Amino acid sequence: MSIKDKDYEQISPTAIVTAYPRIFTDIPYEKEIYSWLESHCDTEVALYKNMAPEMEARYKLVNKLLDKSNIKQVLELASGYSSRGLIYSKKGYNYVEMDLENVSENKIKILKSIEKNIPNSLKVIKGNALRKKDFIKCEKYFKSGEPIAILNEGLLRYLTFDEKRIFAENIWALLSKHGGVWITSDVTPKKFIKSQDNALRNFNKNVSNITSRNNLNDRFEDINHVKNFFGNIGFEIVEVHKFSEVKSELFSINELNIMDDKIEQTLEDAIVVVMKIKK
Ligand SMILES: C[S@@+](CC[C@H](N)C(=O)[O-])C[C@H]1O[C@@H](n2cnc3c(N)ncnc32)[C@H](O)[C@@H]1O
């Protein structure tokens, strides 16, 4: 399959869709990041304040599992405008972010505008997560002999199963050399899309219009489908966590009171999984 960046560029505006709700959280830098986006990009996209609990839970649950892994080298794929790389590199992590060219260029400008001292250990790489040679570009920043935690939030739902397989095979190749884990929220089961539709009116319709992707056929049926799909590529799922596990830590809910039964259901149905290479 020949991989062309232009086939994926329409997904990039969704990075603004996911950055916006994080301004209703206590995650550092998110307000500054969004303010830059507002003055430099087209933010006339599907924006939902009600999405804050979901985005905050996703972000904080991934952090929690990264902390628990004790791995200090990170490759975040499709990192968008997330603040995580800046925060963890300031804590001493060796952190590499990869996203498509346009988003990475914006990200570098954002980092320069909000932080005087960007740690040397943070690298923002322009690349396509389906292209093997772009993984090799990232690999050179990692110390050999030390494991890598690979993270991603919010890309696989836009990819077909063939594309998901290519993405996962690239991760497998890197982890098989270095060891480590893959932590991802990107295993969207159909049940979650249903609860997201109930909580966020027209969200999936709007996102489908923006991306010309986001198809129901590209969703996992359930957790067994997720296990079989990644199992066939050579992964085993070692942990499954619901977003609701971090509910008590969410500023958007507990301080801003952004909550109702429908939002609560999205936190029950969305998951983050931790995968390792099968022995
Ligand atoms: C929904 S956004 C998620 C961004 C970020 N992870 C977050 O949670 O805010 C999806 C991201 O995937 C990126 N993307 C799309 N196709 C990609 C590809 N083939 N390789 C790398 N990144 C890609 C987009 O540019 C966009 O930043």
The DSSP annotation for 179-218 comes to -EEEEES---BHHHHHHHHHHSTTHHHHHHHHHS---GGG
Looking at the predicted structure, is the pLDDT value of residue 1 above 80? no
User: Mean of the pLDDT values across residues 197-208?
Assistant: 91
130 lines ligand 1 (CB under 6 A): yes
Looking at the predicted structure, is the pLDDT value of residue 68 above 80? yes
Which residue lies with its CA nearest to atom 27 of ligand 1?
80
pLDDT value at position 188? 79
Q: Which residues contact 140 (CB under 8 A, 6 or more apart)?
A: none
12 lines ligand 1 (CB under 6 A): yes
Atom of ligand 1 nearest to the CA of 19: 9
Report the alpha-carbon distance of residue 104 to residue 121 in Å, rounded: 16
Looking at the predicted structure, is the pLDDT value of residue 138 above 80? yes
Report the alpha-carbon distance of residue 143 to residue 125 in Å, rounded: 17
Atom of ligand 1 nearest to the CA of 17: 1
Atom of ligand 1 nearest to the CA of 129: 20
pLDDT value at position 2? 84
Report the alpha-carbon distance of residue 185 to residue 272 in Å, rounded: 4
pLDDT value at position 51? 97
Atom of ligand 1 nearest to the CA of 103: 25
The rounded mean pLDDT for the chain is: 95
Across 49-87, b (16+ Cβ under 10 Å) vs e yields: ebbbbbbbbbbbbbbbbbeebebbbbbbbbbbbbbbbbb
pLDDT-above-90 percentage for the chain:
89
pTM across the whole model: 0.97
Which residue lies with its CA nearest to atom 4 of ligand 1?
80
For the chain, domain boundaries: 5-277
User: Mean of the pLDDT values across residues 248-263?
Assistant: 97
What class, spelled out in words, does domain 5-277 have in CATH? alpha beta
Which residue lies with its CA nearest to atom 23 of ligand 1?
78
Report the alpha-carbon distance of residue 193 to residue 31 in Å, rounded: 27
> Higher model confidence: residue 176 or residue 211?
176
Evaluate whether 21 touches 51 at the Cβ level (below 8 Å): yes
User: Mean of the pLDDT values across residues 83-93?
Assistant: 98
CA torsion through residues 108, 112, 114, 118, sign? positive
Looking at the predicted structure, is the pLDDT value of residue 44 above 90? no
Q: Output the CA torsion 110→132→173→163 (10° steps).
A: 90
Strand partners, 217: none
82 lines ligand 1 (CB under 6 A): yes
